[in-house]
Every structure is written in structure tokens, then in C-alpha cells.
Amino acid sequence: MKHIDFKPDFYDQFQCVGPQCSDSCCTHWHIFVDQPTYEFMIYKSKLKDQAPQAFVRTPQGSDYAEINLDEQKRCRLLDDEGWCLVHKLDGLEHLSNTCRLFPRKALHRGNSLTEHVLMLSCPEVVRMLIQTPEMMVFDRLDTPEPQAFDATDYHLYRRPHGYRTQLDWMHAVIDSDYSIEEKLYILSDGVTRLNKYVGHPPNFTSHLIAMAQSNYQEQQVESFHQVKVNTNLQGYLYIHFLELLQGESYTSVMEKSPRLQALLDRLVALFKQDERPITKIKKVLEQPPVSYHLYHQSRPWITSNYLLYRMYMDDVPSMTSGQFFYYFLYEFFYISTTLKLIAAEDVLTDEDVIWVIQSFHKSISGRTFVRLLDELDRDYKALTGQALKPLRLLAPCPFQSKSRNKATLCETDEGLKS
């Protein structure tokens, strides 16, 4: 059995910008160090005199050691300009695994498939995502023999039933002329429907084939536009999300994330200009700023590329596709609402988009995000007696054509396109 490696076309184009990085991985990060690197640095490195102060052993943790940051939360092995002295004096091969590989990551899908990604917690990766229209073109490398990994459950990995058909359906929806909100509604609702037929292949396949028909998608879009958008609910959830994030439970997250803290400070400053923050949020949700539309008009590939890349990172379609879209709807709501608020005050730029997306993936996504949403759901239930439904966070594009057979301002090169 051969082994297959997939990686995005832009994977090998990544280059670290060192001290020019807006959120260097050499500062404010927990940088883990493997045993061979630690022992080399302590006993053999050209920096061995500095090494005892630069590293600290972590005998109780799963990693052997970590970087001991200085008072400014910087790695102690940087030169005056901010470049890595280990790389400079000892060579790339003597960097720790973490430092040598980041932001690269290999996702092993069983013993016969590896998908390579660049992590969105790096600002320069996000820059490549938003500035590279063809970023979702992939390179494939086949090798004769499967690779063996330590994890015992790799041999249990299976693609879900109808994987290729599901993937083709999802890509067809994402490549369509629908707005990003309409696409997310079609995909999220479709995955929910398909989950009912898991374990019943004939029914699953027939329903999936029906969902791929254009008239079915048009019916879903019509249903989407019949959903009453509650901007009061959206405003409440966004504000409460920020309140939770700035609460005592997340103090350690914010202390490690000055870039996220700076973003929240900017949002708080925007809210202080209005007696009721929810009024400002409702305004940008009901009528997104022109700057927001103009930015997407100049980068019509961003939302589709971002969704495709997130699906690729999370191995969608899979048995947990429903879970992916559940969390992605909240992720999209947070990112898009934050960008709309920024765009309401100034011209939206690449740096703004990088700031919002990268700080989310560095500090919020993953377990922290799940925990935040659990608390948000708990508080919402206490207030209303109902569970949160993320599809209600999607608001139709404000510039919609009555005819779904005609392109709208939001869906063509003349306006926002996803």
C-alpha cells in the first residue's frame, strides 16, 4: 500500500519574517523543547553558557523542557535585531522540533495519508491565505510504502461513507455564486440532514444526490431568507462572548495574548462611543459598512478559501462534520462581526483581517473556544430556557436580488463575493 502526502501549493512558499512579524512565535508563547535539543544546548551548543538561563526543565509535563522567557516575554536566545541565535550560530538542525517546524504541521490520516498544513496562529500564514487566490491548489506525493506512526489508533482511521460524493457536493456549494451566509446555511443544514442517515448507506446516498441538485439548493436559499434575523440576539451573544473572554476565568489566556488584548481594547473603545454597544453591533449587522464590502470586493476569494482551508484542517467531510459546522458558524460570526465593527470606524485593511483571524487561532480556537461556547450556551439557556442554534447567527446579505437566477451585488465582481 502506498503512502500519500497532500500539501497546499503555498506550503513550501512560507518564509519566516523574524523580527518583522506582528506576533512573533519567539515571544509570549509556550515554546516546548525536546530532550535531544535540550541536552545539545546545555552541553555542546555555542550558546551553552547562556543555555541554563534560557531553558527550564518540565519534569511533571509531557514535554522535556521549555524556553524560559525573559521579563519582556521574549526568548532569551534572540539577537539585538530579534533573530534566532541558535539558528544563526548552531544551524537549523539544532533548533527544537517546535521551533524548526512551526507553523508547519503534519496531520496523519491513518498510515497511508498525511495532509500538511500551515497553522493560522502565524500572522504570515494568514497573510498568504488572504493574498493568494490559488492557495487551495494542492501538491500530491506518492511513496511506495505506508508510514508507521506511534499512535495505535491510526489503523482504525476511515473516511466516511460517500466521502468523495460529499466532498464534491461541498465544493460545488462553495464554488457557487451564493453568498457566504447562504453557502454556510446550505452546508450546515445539509450535513444535519445527512447525519440522520448515517448507518443506512442507500438512504444516505440517495439523499446526498438529491441535495446536489441546483433546485434543492435554491429551495434551501429560499428557506434561509425566510428565517427572521434577530439582531438583538446576535448583539447579545457577541457582547457576552467578549465579556466572558475578559472575565477572571480567562485571565491566563489574555496574559499570554497581548495581541488579542489589544484587539479587545480597540473594540471596547468603539463601544464607548455609543451609550448602548448593542446598538452599534445591530447597525453593522443590519447594514455592513461600505468599507467591509469594498475590502471583500478586492479580495473575492477570501471567505471561500478560508472555509475550504478550515475544512481541510479539520478533515471535513468526516463523521464529525456536523460538529465542525456547529463551531465554524460561531467562528465565522465572531470574525465577521469583529471585522464589520472595525470597518465601521476606518478603512478595512489586510492588517486588520490578519489581526482578527490570527489572534483568534492563536488564543481562542480549540479548547478555549469550546469552553467559551459552553458557557455562552449555559447563560443563554438560563436567560431564555432555550438552547443556542448557531444557524440563527447567519444574516442574509443586505443587497439581495429577488430573483435567485440573477447575480446580486454581494455575489459578483461588482460587490462582495464569497
Q: Are the CB atoms for 257 and 362 separated by under 8 Å? A: yes
407's CB contacts (< 8 A; 6+ apart) are 177, 401
Chain-centre distance for alpha carbon 256: 19
Angstrom distance (rounded) from CA 270 to CA 15: 35
How many angstroms separate the Cα of 198 from the Cα of each of 60, 72, 208? 42, 52, 11
- Look at residues 325, 332, 301, 330 and name the one whose alpha carbon lies nearest to residue 134: 301
Contact at 8 Å (CB) between 46 and 89? yes
The proportion of the chain whose per-residue pLDDT surpasses 90, expressed as a percent, equals 57
Amino acid occupying residue 245: L
**Are 62 and 93 a contacting pair, CB within 8 Å?**
no
CA nearest 216: which of 228, 208, 225?
208
What is the pLDDT averaged over residues 112-121?
91
pLDDT in tens, 333-389: 999 999 999 999 999 999 999 999 999 999 999 999 999 999 999 999 998 898 888
In this prediction, what percent of the chain has a pLDDT beyond 70? Answer: 90
| Predicted local distance difference test score (pLDDT) of residue 158 | 76
CB 304 within 8 A of CB 129: no
Whole-angstrom distance, CA of residue 132 vs CA of residue 14: 12
Model confidence at 174, pLDDT cuts 50, 70, 90, reads very high
For 205, residues 6+ apart whose C-beta sits below 8 A from its C-beta are: 161, 162, 165
pLDDT at residue number 245: 94
Q: What is the pLDDT of residues 261-316, one digit of tens each?
A: 999 999 999 888 766 888 889 999 989 999 999 999 999 999 999 999 999 999 99
Name residues whose C-beta falls within 8 Å of residue 335's C-beta, 6 or more positions apart in sequence: 356, 357, 360
Greatest Cα pair distance, the chain, in angstroms, is: 72
Going across the sheet that includes 65-67, the strands are: 32-33, 65-67, 55-57
CA distance 182 to 307: 13
The owner of cell 431564555 is 384
- 3-class secondary-structure state, position 263: helix
b or e along 270-295 (b: 16 or more beta carbons within 10 Å of the residue's beta carbon)?
Answer: bbeeeeebbebbbbbbeebbebbbeb
pLDDT band at 414 (very low <50, low <70, confident <90, very high): very low
For 1-28, what is the mean pLDDT? 87
Q: Are 353 and 303 in contact (CB under 8 A)?
A: no
Query: Mean pLDDT, to the nearest integer, of 225-246?
Result: 90
User: pLDDT value at position 156?
Assistant: 63
Q: Given this model, what pLDDT does residue 275 score?
A: 65
Q: Which residue has the cell 527544537?
A: 96
Burial code of 18-41, b = ≥16 C-beta within 10 A, e = fewer? Answer: eeeeebbbbbbbebbbeeebbebb
Residue 416, pLDDT > 50, answer no
Per-residue pLDDT for 413 more than 50? no
3-state secondary structure of 272: coil
Identify the three-state secondary structure at position 343: helix
**pLDDT number for residue 123:** 96
Cell of 332: 465565522
Task: Give yes or no for residue 406 having a pLDDT over 50.
Answer: no
Domain ranges of the chain: 26-101, 226-411
